[in-house]
Amino acid sequence: KFFLVRVVRHWHRLPREAVLRFLLGRRGHASTASIRAARASNAGRSGSGTAPCPGAWGGASAAPPRGGRAVAGMAGRLLRGCVRAAGLCPRRACGEAAGLRDMGFSQEQARRLLGVESRLSPQRREAAVAQLLLLGLNAEATLGLLERRPGLLRMPTERLQERRLQRALIRCPELFTLPRKRMAAVVRLLRERCLFTAEQLREVLWSCPNVLLEEPHQLHHHFQYVYFRMGVQQKEMVKARLFRMPFAELRSRHIFLERRGQYQTPYKGQIQTNNPKLKDIIQLSEKDFLANLARSTPEEFEVFKQLLAREEEEEEEEEENRDALYTEEDEDFDSEGSKPAWE
């Protein structure tokens, strides 16, 4: 196996009889002498224009070895297949490797890249690689991505050139390596439990592709907080790009406005409110949020976030103590119930 690899890598440096000796001589179909005789006989007749005689393998009357012609053809096909599989065909792979090196790939990276979907046309490969590089990925990241997801090379370049897809992948390149089951779980949650329409779901995925990286239960909690606690409908969530802001930051801004009397949770069925729009709460920078919306100072907001974090820690401790108390009571009840009635 090692010798075959060496032959494939340096096939252009070896004499033809050495390659045939390895491929034919291993099976006992031709010896070294017969191969040399065949080569000399063919070379002598090349100038006269006559076809090689049957005795070219070992004498004037000798017939070719059994299966020799079939094995010779098989050996040639095997050698050409091995060279193509290694990506070292001088007529095609060298040109492809040079093109990939011009794109910024090293020689080793180009060799590995040529081994991915080796039967793909050079134009298709270079077009797909160029589009991935234009999305902001470097050579190493592109190579790793294509080795994990070789189907991207067969994706139509028009699809990779779509502006929405490019924006989504630039914002969140981790989508390339995200498992399909994970994506399907998030999409099903948004569609069935959060009740986004098909058009709203499409807009959410284009504008906030990072939503696919969230854990489903955390994403559902994010949606429920905005829907029930803040009283915002799905249509306004989509317009505000809800999932671009982390949940902790959104919650801090909402509670800050609520405790200052600038936000009130609408009751069920209420449509008209004087609350700030969700779009302003999310899309404004912290400086503009405090100056234009909350009308407060950065120092006050910072102190508020520290107090809010302390409140959350105390609530978690209370819940842990409550759970431990319930566990002890259950254990005591079980131990008392296991005693005999006369005790």
State the pLDDT at residue 197. Answer: 94
Residue 63 tokens read as: 């017939």
State the pLDDT at residue 310. Answer: 94
Looking at the chain, the whole-number percentage of residues with pLDDT higher than 70 is 62
Judge contact between 273 and 279, C-beta under 8 A. no
Q: Write out pLDDT tens, residues 267-318.
A: 876 666 789 999 999 999 999 999 999 999 999 999 999 999 999 999 888 8
Q: Which of 41-55, 138-152, 185-199, 323-337 has the lowest mean pLDDT?
A: 41-55
State the pLDDT at residue 6. Answer: 45
Query: Where does residue 210 rank: exposed (0-12), middle (13-18), buried (19+ CB within 10 A)?
Result: middle
First to last CA, the chain: 81
Judge contact between 131 and 160, C-beta under 8 A. yes
Write down the H helix ranges in the chain: 2-9, 16-25, 32-45, 68-85, 93-102, 107-114, 122-134, 139-148, 157-160, 163-171, 180-188, 198-207, 216-224, 234-240, 247-259, 278-283, 286-288, 298-337
Q: From the CB of residue 180, how many other CB atoms can be counted at a distance below 10 Å?
A: 7
Judge contact between 262 and 296, C-beta under 8 A. no
Q: Write out pLDDT tens, residues 3-37.
A: 444 444 454 554 554 544 544 444 444 444 554 55
State the pLDDT at residue 77. Answer: 52
